[in-house]
Amino acid sequence: MKIYLNDYDTETLEKAESLLFNGNGFIGLRGNLEEAYYDHFSTNRETYINGFYETKDIHYPEKMFGFTPTGETMISVIDGQTTLITIGGERFSITEGTISENTRYLDMDKGITVRSLVWTSPKGRQTKITISRLASFQYKNLFSLKLDFERMDHQEKIELTTHLNFYPVRTIDKNDPRMSHELQKITVKEIDLEAQRCTFGTAYSQLEAELIWSIDNQTIEQKVEEERIVIRTKLEGDSYQKNLSYAFQEQTHEGIERSFTELVQAQASYLADFWKSAKVTIKSTENLEESVNYSTFALLQSLGTNGKTSIAAKGLSGSGYEGHYFWDAEMFVFPVFLHLNPALAQQLLTYRYCILDKARENAQLFGYQTGALYPWRTISGTESSPFFEGGSAQHHINADIAYAFIQYYRYTYDLAFMAEYGFEVLLETARIFTEIGYMKNGTFHIDKVTGPDEYTVLVNDNYYTNQLVAYQFEWINRLAKRLQEQYPEAWARLTTKLHMTEEELQQLAQIAETMALPFDEEKGIIAQDRDFLNKGFWPYAKEETQYPLLLNYHPLTIYRYQISKQADAVLALMLFPETFDKATIEKSIAYYDQVTTHDSSLSYSTFSTVYSRLGQVEKGYEYFIKNARTDLDNSHKNTKDGIHTASMGGTFMTIVYGFCNLRVVDEKLTITPNLPKEIEEIDFYTYFKNEKYRIYVNHHEYWIEKQVEGNR
């Protein structure tokens, strides 16, 4: 399985930096051209460590009580990709001489990126150059780069110069609030050229990491310049290998002396095992299999797997959204690994438990008396959103995280995990809603929160939030009963630790039954919130409107109208299809489709899934393609800032939950597929109750088959 990006036009080079990134969940290096260009196109030349960040004060002209005081930003660590090539005194460049036989691709079976070309220098010398790179899944600390040379008509000497750049090179759009406009930098603490070691850290977050390097050819010179370490090397044969090892927190230096061949073999072995369960086979009129499996691979490269990190909105491919973790991780990425590799999915949940104490502190910052409020955007667990209306007011993140824990249990039946981690998260996040909500005339209301639609803020009774909270409260009581019966000692511990009473559980059960779920009887649709349907419609014609709205209109202008950034009420339709009759779903999605801009990459997959379940597969497929090709086609024009991990997770979700309509009903897996004409068949695996199942769907038959050892 390969993804090719062969062209050297500006748009391809910019998006290739993100699409061809090398990552393993711990480190991520953008797919920059090794010989380094700074003037010919927009570039973000950076390397990241998952969980490595700097803090900064947030400055408010008028700061009020409870405003987030500091923010976190993922910053680039020392970037060692740059490798300047000099052949017979001529510096290799794609802008000088001529390039032929050019190819550049990601090999998802081997886990490497490869770039191969023939360069005819200005003096006419021809050299074939092949550059291979990987971020090792076996040694998470390790990035390796190998260059192979074939002198086609000469025997000139080749010299290579490595730059270990202390600071990133970044092109910043100062008009885009989704990007960090402040270029935070590391602090270099100690350099030991003889030991080939550099220690660096951060000024304010007080984090420290270390880079060591190893080069397999004769070093001519090593020196420290103001912004980099420079290492000149004389090529002794026909190949050159550079290994970079990053140590941070528990991650130590391993495998630094491994050859590239050994690393590729280990990488291919790891991925062969991964793809046995993770590969999705699709026969279609378009190359959908490429999109789906690339999405899964990109998510794997970005997924924190140590229980102390998660996955950022841009993964480890770029610095968009400052490297923050959002609700995307639980609602759009988690389902992918829940089906394909539950052990990896569990690590996302473990991270949320790991920062539960910080969520408790965050609740106190808001003035809440009990419970935990997870930050809207974070890295370490501290709230980093300065914009509470469209950010930290999205308290649904508590219920999103709870929903992920519940789905983990429904698919794995891992009650021990819920006893150790999950139940505590569910109860503490629930307590926020019992505090801010209230009972009136026998109905429970939650006011002044923001739902997923960031173009409609501080609303009363957001349908999505309320539905999810009711579901959470119902499952708290279900799990309480099972824990009392099967894990009485753990239950006793939880009761004491959380100061939990039977009265509190009864209160949650009552709220679940009386939750306000706004519905418009005249239109026959669910209402996004109590007031959304009373607002006027967007006054500008579609062809006159500039998108995305957040970059072209004042927030107050946007807030006044029935205009949605992304799926909100429709997301409730997707998560709880059994709650609604078909007519309600049909009318609701038709209505909200007319008022949704899809300015968020999270939106298309949700609409696609709901349309597909309804049997409206033409519309479902239309949105599926838009979502699946978001980054490959650069449809939002910002792939250069990093991939859209939520969109990639949504691609898998539409295949599984939409076209195949996979559900758990009465504790059993069921499918009732609706395939569009463009898709002939779908074949994939999922795990359920610690068993592996193969699911096959075409236009004539479909089945679920439990796998035994030796099956495909």
Catalytic residues: 454
699 Cβ contact list (under 8 Å, min separation 6): 675, 680, 681
Q: Work out the angle between the directed axes of helices 617-628 and 603-614 (0-180°, nearest 10).
A: 160
Give strand pairing partners of 240.
147
| 301 closest CA partner among 309, 311, 290, 292 | 311
CB of 20 closer than 8 Å to CB of 104? yes
- Which is it for strands 525-526 and 536-537: parallel, antiparallel or unpaired? unpaired
Binding-site residue ranges for substrate: 327-328, 565-566
DSSP state of 655: I
CB of 602 closer than 8 Å to CB of 646? yes
DSSP one-letter string for 486-504:
H-HHHHHHHHHHHT--HHH
CB of 129 closer than 8 Å to CB of 147? yes
- Number of C-alpha atoms within 13 angstroms, CB side, residue 445? 14
Q: What Rg value do the Cα atoms of the chain yield, rounded?
A: 26
- Number of C-alpha atoms within 13 angstroms, CB side, residue 190? 9
CA distances (Å), origin 652, targets 171, 318, 344: 32, 22, 16
| Ramachandran region, residue 89 (left: φ > 0; alpha: ψ -120 to 50; beta: rest) | left
Peptide bond into 555 cis (omega under 30): no
Cα–Cα distance, 444 to 121 (Å, whole number): 74
Cα–Cα distance, 157 to 557 (Å, whole number): 64
- Which is it for strands 561-562 and 536-537: parallel, antiparallel or unpaired? parallel
Cα–Cα distance, 687 to 703 (Å, whole number): 15
Q: Work out the angle between the directed axes of helices 423-436 and 396-412 (0-180°, nearest 10).
A: 150
CB of 616 closer than 8 Å to CB of 676? no
Please give the distance of CA 464 from its chain centroid, rounded to a whole number: 22
Residues 123-140: b if buried by 16+ CB within 10 A, e if exposed: eebbbebebbbbbbbbbb
| 33 closest CA partner among 103, 82, 92 | 82
Q: To which residue do tokens 């709870």 refer?
A: 402
